[in-house]
Amino acid sequence: MTTGSPKVPPRDRSQKVQAAIKRLREAHESGKLLLEACPFGRTDRENTMVAEARKHRVNLDTAYKLRVFARDYTNSQLDALCKLCEVHGRALGFTFVTKFLTLHNRATRAEFQKEVIVNGWSMIETKLALTARYGRQALHGMAGKRPKISSLEDLLADVATKCIWWERLARMLGNESHKTATETTLSLANIPSEIRTPFRKVVAWIEQLKDAVDEYLKASRRRSQAPRRQNVRRSRPDDQQGATHQGKGQRGRKRAIASTDAKMDKGRRRRPNTRSHGLVEGSGIL
């Protein structure tokens, strides 16, 4: 008995493939609109891209990727990509396209994407192949301006995403019983011991990092959703006195201060002078 994911009926598979192709074409059309609204080389593209990303209901990073997709894939190249998916029954997501876009040579990109689709590679296998053939820069070499991380929450969310990738890689290399025919046959046993030992340490640290990041983000969301207490400032006599003259400008405030000082002086004059009547200790009266 072989283990693996259950076979998908041909009709369901065809529907998934057509739905994926439709999403790819919609992404390409969105990229054309973004490219038209904010072409490359425009000086104010940052603010324009933020507005366009909100208009298309995508985050800023996806907006930049969609624009590169529309620039680097012509209509005929998109048709060829969709035809490959249809022939080989591959429901390809836009994330795979972003990896193909790191290859700037069109012939190389067409050859690599065909290999990915025909062999049914997973995302991890695709990334490993990119790194092995074209270096680490191929994973992050998509042309176009990268968005700036503007908040701590965005930075930590990006860190959590990379931690998930490491967890999936470690799970794939360490779990032999749940591998399908399309997944790699490599495991931790195939990795040399001088690499395997630090690899396990890194995975353990990454798990701790992800747990800490998740806890911080959850606490941050709870704080942002909690109702905020309004600070009520208690009024003081000086505030009440000043409130009567509010709106009268600097001259009105000066009159209020002078009036308060006069009242205080009047009160001091009415207070009896105990020293003048001999009401002090040691005088024989107290």
At 38, is the secondary structure helix, strand, or coil?
Answer: coil
Report the alpha-carbon distance of residue 83 to residue 97 in Å, rounded. Answer: 14
Report the alpha-carbon distance of residue 213 to residue 154 in Å, rounded. Answer: 11
Here the tokens at position 63 are 């907006």
pTM of the model: 0.51
CA 51 to chain CA centroid, Å, is 17
What pLDDT, on the 0 to 100 scale, is given for residue 151?
Answer: 73
What pLDDT, on the 0 to 100 scale, is given for residue 189?
Answer: 82
Q: Burial level of 276, CB count in 10 A (0-12/13-18/19+)?
A: exposed
The single-letter code of the amino acid at 108 is T
What confidence tens digit (pLDDT) does each residue in 172-204 have? 887 644 444 444 567 788 888 888 889 889 999
Here the tokens at position 28 are 């390409």
Contacts of residue 108, defined as CB under 8 A and 6 or more positions apart, other chains included, come to none
The vertex-202 CA angle with 198 and 205, nearest 5°, equals 140
What pLDDT, on the 0 to 100 scale, is given for residue 154?
Answer: 73
Contact 15, 86 (CB under 8 A): no
The vertex-280 CA angle with 278 and 286, nearest 5°, equals 95
What pLDDT, on the 0 to 100 scale, is given for residue 223?
Answer: 81
Report the alpha-carbon distance of residue 63 to residue 73 in Å, rounded. Answer: 15
Report the alpha-carbon distance of residue 192 to residue 267 in Å, rounded. Answer: 92
Report the alpha-carbon distance of residue 84 to residue 118 in Å, rounded. Answer: 8
What pLDDT, on the 0 to 100 scale, is given for residue 142?
Answer: 53
Closest CA to 4 of 174, 211, 212, 183: 183
Q: Which residues of the chain have pLDDT under 50?
A: 1-6, 143-145, 176-183, 241-245, 274-286
What pLDDT, on the 0 to 100 scale, is given for residue 260?
Answer: 64
What pLDDT, on the 0 to 100 scale, is given for residue 183?
Answer: 47
**Residues of 17-52 as b/e, b for ≥16 C-beta within 10 angstroms?**
beebbeebeebbebbbebbebbeeeeeebeeebeeb
